[in-house]
Amino acid sequence: MQTQPRQALEVAKKSLINANDNKSKLLALFYITDAYNMLNNYLKIDEFANQGLLLAQKTNNQRFIFEFTYFKIFQLELSGDYHGALQLANSNVKRAKTLTDERLLGMGLTVRGQMYLNLGNHQFALRDVEQAIQIFKNNNDEKNISYAFNTLAIIYADFDDFENSIKFYKESLKAFTVNSFDQSTVFYNMGSAYVELKQYNTALEYYKMAIDSAKVFNDEFTITFSKNGIADTYLKQEKYDDAIKIYHTTIKLFQQINDIQMLFNVNLSLAQAYIGKKDFDRAEKHLSRAEKYSSTLNIDVSQLNLLKTREHFYELQELWDKAYATLKQRADLENTNFQTNKEKFVEELKIKYNARFDQEKMKLLQQQNNLQESLISQGKEKNNYLVIIIGLGALIFLFTFIAFLIQKKQRKNLYILSTTDSLTNTYNRRYIISYLKDLMSKKPTTQDFAIVMIDLDYFKRINDTYGHEIGNQVLIHFANTVKQHLEKGEIIGRIGGEEWLMILNNQKDEEIRQVLESIRKNYQQNKPASISKDCQLNFSSGIIRQAHNYPNYDQILNDVDKALYKAKNSGRGTDCFYNSVL
């Protein structure tokens, strides 16, 4: 299928004719649909995916419902219906979990991550794709890990982190031992990343590699995309005539398959090229077409790019009132989008806000200077221009104030990320060790405290028996249980795998035993529904009281580890004080 899809298609068609039962028909319909997917024949994909989905639903074959829904997701994506695509992707993830098939779960998470990316939800996109990569690694699934790395690279490119993007594209390429359809797509994506890094010659090399790779399979779709990438490169280099010539050849395929996103992109790029040539009539024609496609997509990013291009369109013609109105419209949209998507924006702005804000600020200052020069040279409409300048100044102040607020929240979120274990939402090793060092440095005025090191018993057996997902649920359950028993000033941190470190207020031996026994009882008896009732839970612990008397934190960790070792050698499920080890 990867190397000879046309031959695979003919074999699958013959198999469908000769199929004597529903399972054989479903298998043949799947391979036909997959072959048409490789050949980018979208009408046929839709036709056979619908046939397969109806038959799978009729026979209640959940595995093939997943596979044909997979194709339907990309059909909706192509038409610009990202919300509909995300809804189907959600259903596929749930279906894969029900089937307990890790390969399908990884595929479902990767695709859902891609749909989240289309909608600008980078936090959820990263979460899904990174989880998928781990699943594929655990199962040595090279083909799917390549696809997941490619999607991860696209996410980083959307963050404007093109160095990391290229790194993950190269990880994606490692899975290819022979030339294939997917390999040419990765070449194309790498070309796009190098364009953003302004390494135009390298970008052109990768686009040409993508075209050469795609020609082997007569993959017109990837060839067209790569030509479009070459045109984008020429546009960046201000080679407007070369770019326009190529754009007019690529737009035909996008019209044929009704790819709304690419029709928007190409028309906007053509408008930018004609603006560069100061051919404003042709630029207006393509701007109008881009506006039509933007209304269908209904995506803020597309609308903002459109407004930015139209603003430049008015500036070059010195239509200052229209330029200001467009600038204000763009600022209003950015502000509205910011207010309604604060959490999503914080995640994205961690990486790219400062650079983007500086660019916007410099652009606004440049526009202000241009307007001032126009006032001096023309001596007309002074009051109107003064209002514009004041408005621009107000916008600069607004951006500056927003930047201050976001950077303040950003620092807080970055601090949380750097100190917290992402799975269990407890402190991570780095933080709790740092906390312990800080306690030791405050002697002799520090409060008495006790140290408890905990290891979950037979955790590897749980992972091997029930799977890593259940193992993760056990870790989360233990963390939540402990948090319910901690008093003010007491903390817990995950120091690695199933090992934990607790810092408690210093108490008598029996009081500490009672706390640990209470944690153990709740940990064993109050399991959430996601953990099997047959799953046996317990833990062992080593304890040091009056830890503040130690000369340094290294000695504390060494001795409490000895106590934990003694507890585990005593049959597990026990608590051992260091004094009893001596």
Percent of the chain having pLDDT more than 70? Answer: 82
Confidence class for position 41, pLDDT limits 50, 70, 90:
confident
* Residue 246 pLDDT exceeds 60: yes
Distance CA 500, CA 427 (A): 10
Average per-residue pLDDT for the chain: 82
Fold equal for 176-256 and 427-581: no
pLDDT beyond 90 at 492: yes
Instruction: Show me where the domains of the chain are located.
Output: 176-256, 427-581
Mean pLDDT of 433-448: 73
Residue 482 has pLDDT above 50, yes or no: yes
Q: Which residue has the tokens 């829904």?
A: 69
pLDDT digits (tens, 9 = 90+) for 376-430: 556 555 555 556 666 676 676 666 566 556 555 555 555 566 678 888 889 888 8
pLDDT confidence of residue 445: 47
Q: Is 81:299 a contact under the CB 8 Å cutoff?
A: no
pLDDT given at position 351: 40
Cβ contacts of residue 231 below 8 Å, gap of 6+?
A: 242, 243, 244, 246, 247, 250, 269
CATH class of the domain whose range is 427-581:
alpha beta
Question: Distances from the Cα of 305 to the Cαs of 37, 268, 317, 328, in angstroms?
Answer: 30, 8, 19, 14
Task: Say if residue 341's pLDDT is above 60.
Answer: no
Q: Taking the domain 176-256, which CATH number applies? A: 1.25.40.10
Q: How confident is the model at residue 353 (pLDDT cuts 50, 70, 90)?
A: very low
Q: pTM here?
A: 0.47
Rounded average pLDDT over 143-169: 83
pLDDT in tens, 282-294: 999 999 999 888 8
Mean pLDDT, rounded, for 34-53: 82
Confidence of residue 581 (pLDDT cuts 50, 70, 90): very low
Residues 6+ positions from 245 with CB-CB distance below 8 Å:
none
Residue range 307-334: average pLDDT?
88
Residue 452, pLDDT above cutoff 90: yes
End-to-end CA distance of the chain: 67
The predicted pLDDT at position 93 comes to 92
